[in-house]
Structure 1
Amino acid sequence: MAEPLRISAGELETDAIIEAIQDGRRVVITTTAVETDYEVTLRYDGSVYYCDTPTRLHRHESERAMRACIRKMGYGSEAHDE
């Protein structure tokens, strides 16, 4: 398995994040909420996209839904996102 791609929220565009997880890499994103840093892991098993947070596992059945989650949560930069 490839090494996880570790980034900070907003460091990469959504397209780059989607491309990495579709290539089989886990993307570990460091983000901040209520002045606390935490990590979220984004991954794809070939049919379902996952967002593993410290408190929940979110499932997305489509690339479109995963993109919406990445945008909503601020994990990807907004530059050039569709």
Structure 2
Amino acid sequence: MAEPLRVEAGELSAEEILDALLDGRRVLVEVEMMGETRQLSLRHDGTTFYCDTPTTLHKHSDAEEMRTCIEKMGYAKEA
């Protein structure tokens, strides 16, 4: 299994994050939540994309849904 890719929110583009996920890597993103730095996990199991935050688990059925989530939640740098 590949080493997780560790990034800060806004460091990579949504496309770079998706490329890593599709290559089988888990992406660990550091974000500011409620005044604290938290880590969330983005992953893909070959079928479903997952966004596992400290408060909830989001599931997405395709790359476009995942891209929308990544951009909406501010995990990627703005285009």
TM-score range, shorter chain: over 0.9
How much has 1:34 moved relative to structure 2? 2.1
State the Cα RMSD in Å: 0.7
> Pairwise mapping of residues 1-82 of structure 1 onto structure 2 (< 5 A)?
1-79=1-79
What is the CA-CA distance between 1:62 and the residue it aligns to? 1.1
More displaced 10-residue stretch of structure 1: 4-13 or 70-79? 70-79
Unaligned runs of 5+ in 1: none
SS of the residue aligned with 1:12? coil
The aligned amino acid for 1:23 is D
Hey, which bits of structure 1, 4+ residues long, moved more than 3 A? none
Q: Shift in Å at residue 69 of structure 1?
A: 0.3
Shift of 1:78: 1.4
Shift in Å, 1:41: 0.4
- Identity, in percent, stands at 51
Question: What amino acid does structure 1 have at the position aligned with 2:4?
Answer: P
Report Cα offsets for 1:11-41 as digits up to 9, x if no partner.
0000000000000000000000221110110
